[in-house]
Structure 1
Amino acid sequence: MAEYVQRRKEDMIVEINLLEILFKKSIVKRIVHQREKFEYRMMRRNKQKSDFTQYIVFLKSVMKKIQKLGLENAESLKLIEQHISRINTIYRTALKYFKDDISLWKEYIKFLVKAKRFRLLQYAIDSALLLHGHISDEIYVFAIRQEFLDLKNIQKARELYTTGLRLHKKSSSLYLEAFDIELTYSEILTQTVIKKKQVYKPDDPALNGSIAKAIFLSAIDNVANDFSLFFKMYQKTKDYNFASYLNEEIRNFLQTNFSSDPIYWNTIANNELNHPKRPEKLRIKNCLDKYDEALSIVDTDEMWNLYLNTLLQITSDTNKTEAYKRNLLRHSMFNAHAKNRLKPIHYVQWVNKSKSSITNEILEWALEKYPNDPSILEVKIKNLVESDKFGAYEIFKQHMNLMSVNVWLLITEKIIEEPQAKEIFEIVFSDISECDEEVKKKLGSSYLYWLSRNNSLECTRNAFQKLIMSTGRDSSLCNTIIKIETEQEKMDIHKIRQHFIIACMQFGKTDKELWMDRILFELKYGSPKTVSNVYHEALTTLNNEESDEFVELYTKKILNYNK
């Protein structure tokens, strides 16, 4: 193994000389060191795919650095050529060991296309098809595209899609690729006829899209239920004047076979909405007209849901746009509400997009239909809490088992100075509490502050000791109790050290900031003599990565502290 790597290193001598012309020696040294590591990994007995792909990614990154210099000299071009050659070799070596990996073949083919290695590309495509063509239509799609777009070989592309469709009769992606290249090729031939001022023959199968039509008819025989495929075919024919008859035929097929499918109507409506050449108001009108037509034919929850989602998307900027959008939203949503078609998410979004003067009415309608829906209750509480925090608290108390952590935090913040705060903290932190652990974690610091103001310091300390030893807590509780302790008229250094020791026992393996806070406390309030001991304790307790980061953090903080 070492001999192979040494040989590879010797082969790199020319590259190293060229790299040193373009980069600093320190950068070249890092590149060579990294390449040596990758060469060793590729020679391991138990090879991993990542041993090869990570090396390739690294070499590509070096190539980008060379290209970023923007130099067109011989050295740069030669280096890039050498890197391309090495990457090609690594891909081919990797595929000897991982020939069953389709994604690796695709990556290799893409690389060859980008590097313009067309002779190798042909070989790679043939090899990939031989190995995977019978099980993967993806490889065929990929190969057809490369043959037609990059190698300009329509005959080979046709052979490929013919073979591919014989093996994968149900492959919509293959049908679409074949359809697309035949339309494109007919357009190329048509433009050639026009340029050469030859007679255009509209009945010529090569010019009028007849081959594309044959593919469309074959798709009907094999994948007739794939609306997405036929709609894409319909869209593609719009781009070609010679295919107008085919566009009409596909449109009729869609209407006949998919008029009861909500996805069909949703796609048609959104197609109107995204029309590139029409003004916004007309696009919105045409889109909603399609939905109205759809709902008269397919009056289902799914159809209503698609319609409402699009409506909410259209009015997403309703607070800063024309009044017609606000009126459209109000009228359409009320109509859907009257027909009992709104889901909780629709009510919530309606409230968020409406003026405050009507939000209460919308929320009343929503709660009438969904009295226990958490999302609606949350919006209700948030809307009410500023004007009537006690009313919001009563709603919260009746449904607290449904409330998110954010609502718990909001309500606690609003009533922290009120008698109800005691009730909340007893619910959350009593010995028999069944409250969610995440709520306890988020409210822990607020609870300690509340205790320090409404009870004794000793009681606050006891609560900290209990909370810090519970599962799911973090070191923020330590920060809170330290702040409370340091705000006392007479600071108890011994107690604060105990708090730090307990917290470091719990979180000392990963929390470098905690150790740093402990050191800064000793420097500011305690005994600087203890800093050395705490520092070494941190290094031995923290995990390896965190320990290295702690050394950097310590150096930076101490420098700032001593300024």
Structure 2
Amino acid sequence: MQHCHPSDMNMFRLSARQSLSRPSSNSGTPQSHHQHEVIGVSNCLQVQERIFVGIIIKSGMLCALQKEKTTVSKLFTRMLQVHTRKPDLWITAAKWEFEDNLNHENARHLLQKGLRFNPASKQLWLEYYRMELLFAEKLRKRKQIMEADLLEDEDSVQDAVLAGSVAAVVYRQALQEFPEDVKFALSFLPICQLFDFAKNQEEDIFTQIQKSFPDRPETFDAIARRHIYKASTIEDEELKEKEIQKCYDVFEDAVNKVAEGEIWGLYIQACLDLVEMKFPKTTPLPEWRIHKLLEVFDDAAKKEAVTPALFEKWAEVLTNVGQIKELLKVYDLATTHHPKVVTLWVHRLQVLIRTVPTEEKVIAVFHEACKHVPKKKSLPLWRLILDFCISNQSDSTTTLFEKGVSCHSSVSGPVKVLYLQWIYLTAGISKTRDLYKRFMQAGLVPLQIIKEYIKMEMAQAKPKMKLLRQAYEDAVSEFGSTNADLWIDYIQLEQTHPQGRPEDAGNIHFRAVKCLEGELNQQFITKYTLLQTGHLDV
């Protein structure tokens, strides 16, 4: 057996030590020393397991490269004895047996054993099914090459295996484990369709699904998409369109039988795929397919079955075909059906603004949106309306800013920054100072506002040190315990400004060291040392 590389074992030991010393993630709950030990040991065992598996697989790959197949088999056997509940490992071992060791029986045995330990693993069933079809394909190719004469009684058995009958048995057994899972039953189809000789099996799967799940949306979708697949292989345009019409017919039947809204989503997605699909023969896209898509969108909307994501798709289609007026109607409908979805309101406003409406109309829609959208999620709306008002030099700009700064904290903070910037650009530094002072007196000022104000003061022809010093005092007073860079910037200001007091740098350093803790404290000391020696990148 191949020995583990020393670096692998070092990594193993290091990870184990880190796991034992790692604190609990539930820092808010008091825990005894014993509880910490239990958590540490649990973490350690989990890391040991991951590292062990990694080392075993790495060793197995090394042995495989050296063509030591017996050693690889033993490695996988030992690994699976310990990790019986890991489906991925059973699949990896079976894949190696089938592809590298060329031993189909061992691979089959591993997958069967893996399923006994993990009967709920859908991936194991799918891989088992895939492997049996691959084995049948290998036998078919071998038969074509060898052209061996077989006895008649052997022919029947051989033909059954060559047709993938073993895979069909696997499929039936899998469905017995998950009798109500239509999506799992359908997940075998893409595998089956990879093998030309399994056409009869594909038919059987479709028949079984229609029998077991006759009124499920997924069943209708699978049948309809089968017509789409057939259409993609037909070059004759008339025959192609007839096959596509069969797809539409399946869905039309489905929406009359199935009450679930999911069927409309599947119908719309199929129509979108038909609009976007590429055929072997390059031809212009028939307009009727786009009209059909828009018609389905309309019908689904009447049933209130269009999700926010599908409304966005609808809008995208209308944009591509240049129907801007219809686009606005769609977003009106979207915000009616999904009034709490902020992105739909934002897009509705954006489309409305493109139509050059009156200012009153835009602001009215904005206020309507604010009634429905949760306040903590409404920032995109505020950004959009403020940008609109500023661009149009609206008289309502100040009023909206004043409302915005009194909103939810997730909105008021960014709006205060925008308000400060707008006042600076339109009214000058004097008004900006007044607004900044007002914000500070009100409290709960984000750090970004103080930083923006400092930039504005620094941009003056003669920056006033008194005002800058006060701004930095505001900053370190509120955020000094969580931000080491603020203290460094403050010290730099005192050292570089013509009216600064370099002798105060030591006092600021002392305050910073007392205020900052842990890693932040070390960061500050390091940066301060680099600053004093002239090696700090500014």
Q: Same fold (TM over 0.5)?
A: yes
- 1:190 and 2:131 matched: no
Q: Give the conservation status (yes or no) of the 8 Å contact 1:41–1:47.
A: no
Pick from 249, 261, 264 the counterpart of residue 304 of structure 1. Answer: 264
1:134-149 equivalence runs, <5 A:
135-149=85-99
1:48-197 equivalence runs, <5 A:
48=19, 98=45, 103-104=50-51, 106-117=53-64, 118-133=69-84, 135-197=85-147
TM-superposed CA distance for 1:350, in Å, is 2.2
> For structure 2, which runs of at least 5 residues remain unmatched after alignment?
23-43, 278-283
Q: Counterpart amino acid of 1:181?
A: M
Q: Give the conservation status (yes or no) of the 8 Å contact 1:301–1:341.
A: yes
Report the 3-state secondary structure (helix = DSSP H, G, I; strand = E; otherwise coil) of the residue aligned with 2:162. coil
CA separation of 1:329 and 1:189: change in aligned 2, threshold 3 A: closer
CA separation of 1:142 and 1:478: change in aligned 2, threshold 3 A: same
When the two structures are superposed, what TM-score results if normalisation uses the length of structure 1? 0.69
Question: Corresponding residue for 2:254?
Answer: 294
Separation in 2, partners of 1:108, 1:265: 47
Pick from 379, 386, 409 the counterpart of residue 405 of structure 1. Answer: 379
Q: Counterpart amino acid of 2:62?
A: A
Question: Corresponding residue for 2:36?
Answer: none
Separation in 1, partners of 2:47, 2:11: 24
**Deviation digits for residues 452-498 of structure 1 (CA, Å, limit 9, x no counterpart):** 5568455324224236x516x22x21232224435667753201111
Question: Corresponding residue for 2:168?
Answer: 213
Pick from 389, 394, 412 the counterpart of residue 359 of structure 2. Answer: 389
- 1:444 and 2:416 matched: yes
Separation in 2, partners of 1:493, 1:43: 52
Separation in 2, partners of 1:300, 1:418: 47
The alignment's C-alpha RMSD in Å is: 4.4
CA separation of 1:554 and 1:393: change in aligned 2, threshold 3 A: farther
Separation in 2, partners of 1:287, 1:553: 71
Q: Give the conservation status (yes or no) of the 8 Å contact 1:164–1:174.
A: yes
Q: Give the conservation status (yes or no) of the 8 Å contact 1:504–1:514.
A: yes
Separation in 1, partners of 2:470, 2:256: 72
- 1:42 and 2:18 matched: no
Q: Counterpart amino acid of 2:330?
A: I
CA separation of 1:297 and 1:49: change in aligned 2, threshold 3 A: farther
Pick from 404, 427, 437 the counterpart of residue 428 of structure 1. Answer: 404
Separation in 1, partners of 2:12, 2:196: 57
Q: Counterpart amino acid of 2:260?
A: T
TM-superposed CA distance for 1:437, in Å, is 0.5
CA separation of 1:440 and 1:524: change in aligned 2, threshold 3 A: same
CA separation of 1:437 and 1:218: change in aligned 2, threshold 3 A: same
Q: Give the conservation status (yes or no) of the 8 Å contact 1:144–1:161.
A: yes
Separation in 2, partners of 1:107, 1:274: 41
Report the 3-state secondary structure (helix = DSSP H, G, I; strand = E; otherwise coil) of the residue aligned with 1:186. helix
1:225-264 equivalence runs, <5 A:
225-264=180-219
Separation in 2, partners of 1:240, 1:368: 48
Q: Counterpart amino acid of 2:294?
A: R
Question: Corresponding residue for 2:280?
Answer: none
Separation in 2, partners of 1:107, 1:44: 13
Q: Give the conservation status (yes or no) of the 8 Å contact 1:316–1:353.
A: no
Question: Corresponding residue for 2:434?
Answer: 459
Question: Corresponding residue for 1:65?
Answer: none
Report the 3-state secondary structure (helix = DSSP H, G, I; strand = E; otherwise coil) of the residue aligned with 2:163. coil
Q: Give the conservation status (yes or no) of the 8 Å contact 2:216–2:258.
A: yes
1:307-322 equivalence runs, <5 A:
307-311=267-271
Report the 3-state secondary structure (helix = DSSP H, G, I; strand = E; otherwise coil) of the residue aligned with 1:253. helix
TM-superposed CA distance for 1:287, in Å, is 5.5
Q: Give the conservation status (yes or no) of the 8 Å contact 1:508–1:538.
A: no
**Deviation digits for residues 156-205 of structure 1 (CA, Å, limit 9, x no counterpart):** 22333343444555543333332222222222222222212213635424
CA separation of 1:188 and 1:521: change in aligned 2, threshold 3 A: same
TM-superposed CA distance for 1:439, in Å, is 0.7
Question: Corresponding residue for 2:524?
Answer: 547
Pick from 284, 295, 320 the counterpart of residue 331 of structure 1. Answer: 295
TM-superposed CA distance for 1:235, in Å, is 3.4
CA separation of 1:557 and 1:143: change in aligned 2, threshold 3 A: same
Pick from 346, 349, 353 the counterpart of residue 378 of structure 1. Answer: 346
Separation in 2, partners of 1:322, 1:549: 65
Q: Give the conservation status (yes or no) of the 8 Å contact 2:220–2:251.
A: yes
Pick from 315, 321, 341 the counterpart of residue 305 of structure 2. Answer: 341
Question: Corresponding residue for 2:30?
Answer: none
Question: Corresponding residue for 1:502?
Answer: 474
Question: Corresponding residue for 1:527?
Answer: 500
Separation in 2, partners of 1:237, 1:348: 34
Separation in 2, partners of 1:211, 1:482: 75
TM-superposed CA distance for 1:316, in Å, is 7.9
Aligned-pair identity (%): 20
TM-superposed CA distance for 1:240, in Å, is 3.6
Separation in 1, partners of 2:92, 2:352: 57
CA separation of 1:237 and 1:384: change in aligned 2, threshold 3 A: closer
**Deviation digits for residues 13-40 of structure 1 (CA, Å, limit 9, x no counterpart):** xxxxxxxxxxxxxxxxxxxxxx69x849
Separation in 1, partners of 2:369, 2:338: 13
Question: Corresponding residue for 1:418?
Answer: 394
Report the 3-state secondary structure (helix = DSSP H, G, I; strand = E; otherwise coil) of the residue aligned with 2:207. helix
Q: Counterpart amino acid of 2:364?
A: E
CA separation of 1:527 and 1:137: change in aligned 2, threshold 3 A: closer
CA separation of 1:119 and 1:508: change in aligned 2, threshold 3 A: farther
Q: Give the conservation status (yes or no) of the 8 Å contact 1:345–1:375.
A: no
**Deviation digits for residues 389-427 of structure 1 (CA, Å, limit 9, x no counterpart):** 332112223442545201111212332443323322332
Separation in 2, partners of 1:427, 1:223: 56
CA separation of 1:265 and 1:533: change in aligned 2, threshold 3 A: farther
Q: Give the conservation status (yes or no) of the 8 Å contact 2:379–2:411.
A: yes
Question: Corresponding residue for 1:358?
Answer: 326
Question: Corresponding residue for 1:21?
Answer: none
Q: Counterpart amino acid of 1:262?
A: P
CA separation of 1:101 and 1:234: change in aligned 2, threshold 3 A: farther
Report the 3-state secondary structure (helix = DSSP H, G, I; strand = E; otherwise coil) of the residue aligned with 1:300. coil
Separation in 1, partners of 2:414, 2:512: 29
Question: Corresponding residue for 1:20?
Answer: none
Separation in 2, partners of 1:496, 1:260: 72
Separation in 2, partners of 1:45, 1:443: 48
